[in-house]
Amino acid sequence: MNRHTRSRITASLLAMAMVLASVSILTIAPVSASDDFTLSIYGNANQDDTIDMRDVTRIARIICWLDPEVDLADAKY
């Protein structure tokens, strides 16, 4: 085998390995399209999966003791 043929074979094998790795990652990755999931990060005070002005309003209402405390509105963490 000459050098040109060897480099073409190496490039072909590398391309096949990359395609195989990409397909493997896509099949192993979990599907996260579940509608019953709540975003559990601090700041999601009203638990609607969106950090926005409504969360700020909810936190202000908690501070004024108008709404009950929720764990995700805690700023100590």
User: Tens digit of pLDDT for each residue in 7-23?
Assistant: 888 888 898 888 888 87
Other CB atoms within 10 Å distance of the CB of residue 9: 11
What is the predicted pLDDT for the residue at 34?
A: 56
Per mean pLDDT, which range of 17-21, 33-37, 55-59, 69-73 is the poorest?
33-37
Name the pLDDT band for 42 (thresholds 50, 70, 90): confident
Tokens of 10: 């190496």
Reported pTM: 0.47
